Amino acid sequence: MIGFQGVLGGLTVTQLLRFDIVTAHLGTALLFFSAMLIMGTALLPYTSTGTVGQLPWLGLGATAIVYGQCLLGGLVGSRWAARQCFGLGELCQVMNSHLLGIVPATLAVLGLTWVVWRTPALSYPLRRLGSLASTWLVFQLVMGIATFRLRLQVEPLTVIHHTLGAALVGTLVCFTTLAWRDALSRDRAALSHPDYAQKA
């Protein structure tokens, strides 16, 4: 992955910031970041409570939706779509696709946090990560709206918006990895102790 990212980085320069290559560069960076987080989270000591239910799938879905929203944001940035839409009324459909993407991303993250809060006896790390995801989301929405309303004039806001997008993806990746670990160790316990399966 890092080799592929290096090639994309080179192409970004030689192809003079071609938008599809820049967006692929952002997408691969997030995948590489996620791979590191999955490896780290898989190695953490973790005691399963066996109460995760559908949370592994909800986590996976929310991660995919927010990842897609980041790619749409990357397209807006690399095509200069926001500036073109404000100034010339062009490429507004690219800008609007990122704005529309807010709806599924927000619903997925808030829905995940809601289920986390309503799940009894969930492990402490999953509870914390579930709440953290919604905290990042709120900051991200505020930063996105500020970037948009100030018409990209305040560069640190754009950088923070980019960074919070990565933080949100990272938090969801860690949540999903731990939720799958929880679910898989529950299944393993059920296989080795049929009594446990009956009780669960």
Dihedral sign computed on CA atoms, order 129, 131, 135, 140: positive
Question: Hey, what amino acid is at 156?
Answer: P
Which residue, among 30, 34, 40, has the nearest Cα to 5 in the 3D structure?
A: 30
When asked if residue 100 is in the footprint of ligand HEM (CB under 6 A), the reply is no
When asked if residue 70 is in the footprint of ligand HEM (CB under 6 A), the reply is yes
Q: Out of 29, 37, 66, 122, name the contact with ligand HEM by CB under 6 A.
A: 66
Q: Which stretch binds ligand HEM (CB under 6 A): 4-12, 111-119, 159-167, 188-196?
A: 159-167
When asked if residue 157 is in the footprint of ligand HEM (CB under 6 A), the reply is no
CB-neighbour burial class of residue 169 (10 A; exposed 0-12, middle 13-18, buried 19+): buried
CB 133 within 8 A of CB 168: yes
When asked if residue 46 is in the footprint of ligand HEM (CB under 6 A), the reply is no
Three-class SS of residue 121? coil
Residue 84 tokens, joined: 């073109």
When asked if residue 55 is in the footprint of ligand HEM (CB under 6 A), the reply is no
Query: Cα separation of 22 and 20, whole Å?
Result: 5
When asked if residue 165 is in the footprint of ligand HEM (CB under 6 A), the reply is yes
Q: What is the DSSP letter of 159?
A: H
Kindly write out the interface string for residues 74-93 of this chain, putting x where it contacts ligand HEM by CB under 6 A and - elsewhere.
x-xx----x-----------
When asked if residue 26 is in the footprint of ligand HEM (CB under 6 A), the reply is yes
Question: Hey, what amino acid is at 76?
Answer: V
Binding site for ligand HEM (CB under 6 A): 26, 66, 69-70, 73-74, 76-77, 82, 98-99, 102, 105, 137, 140-141, 144-145, 147-148, 152, 158, 161-162, 165, 168
